[in-house]
Amino acid sequence: GNVGSAAEETSGASVTSGPEVSSPSAVLMEASTGQVICEKGADEQRSPASITKIMTLILIFDALESGKISLEDEVVTSAHAKSMGGSQVFLEEGEKQTVETLIKCIVIASGNDASVAMAEYIAGSEEEFVRMMNERAAGLGMTGTHFVDCCGLTEDPSHRTTARDIAVMSRELINRYPQIHEYSTIWMDTITHVTKQGSKEFGLANTNKLLKMAANFTVTGLKTGSTSSAKYCLSATAEKDGVRLIAVVMAAPDFKARFQDAMTLLNYGYAVCRLYEDKEGLPLPQMPVTNGVETSVPLVYSGSFSYLGMNG
């Protein structure tokens, strides 16, 4: 849904008025309702690079939630996982790391090797894991998405998604598994490689520089991505006064523009959005019961109701 007047809706205008961004594709979404506040080229299919890993993380947390795996499980690195290029944490073949350490490697340092190690651990092969990724994407209604690998390193032109679909999967990850923020807000950490050569420390530095950029809201994540074909991508999550926003930027021309565009979108979002929540709600009437033991029963709200209001 677009935010706009009825006239805009009927004329089929797909671009909502929003701030100027240099990136060709961008989406700003409110996380609790999933409402899109503004968008630009939101349905153009592009290469997501490492933003692919948001879906990999959803499947990792699905497996944790179902009890299929646990954070303490030890995962052995295969030759295939070690062979990944691009951003990596330099796992050796046969090296063991816990699931939790590998999650940190994926979220903080965008480790391709760590992503493939987890894919193989959960699904038996990266190929089967990618099938699960596409199935999960379909279940979320991500119609513009097709995954070919689990880390976004592929040069395959059919590995594609859209800014809107990235917002949708980001929303699924942060709403369903809010514990992701325990990892996505880590600025620096270290892991220990234990191999035949002995043990050595390796530093993880967060690729999301937005975490350190001064803002009037709290940046809580989530994932960067860049390759020559994808240019610079970012899915940024933020929170202020209980309002959580997701800003997605794809194919930004450079490193600075990627973070600047996300900042512009988030500043705009917090200027125009108010989330209204009915926590207590209005007093409810008694519900009459026909042929029951009692003539009426009290009603209670099943949950809080919230809707997004726009200023101006």
**Residues with a known catalytic role:** 50, 53, 110
Is residue 133 a contact partner of residue 152, using CB atoms and an 8 Å limit? no
Residue whose tokens read 């020559």:
228
Give the β-pairing of 188-195 and 218-227.
unpaired
Helices marked H in the chain — which ranges? 6-11, 53-65, 79-82, 99-107, 112-123, 126-139, 163-176, 180-184, 255-272
Answer whether 163's CB lies under 8 Å from 250's CB.
yes
Q: Enter the DSSP assignment of 46.
A: B
d(CA 160, CA 298): 51
Burial class of residue 82 in the structure, from the number of CB atoms within 10 Å of its CB (0-12 exposed, 13-18 middle, 19+ buried): middle
The torsion of the CA quartet 103, 183, 226, 78, rounded to 10 degrees, works out to: -10
The three-state secondary structure class of 168 is helix
Give the gyration radius of the chain's Cα atoms: 22
Q: Read off φ and ψ for residue 42, nearest 5 degrees.
A: -70, -20
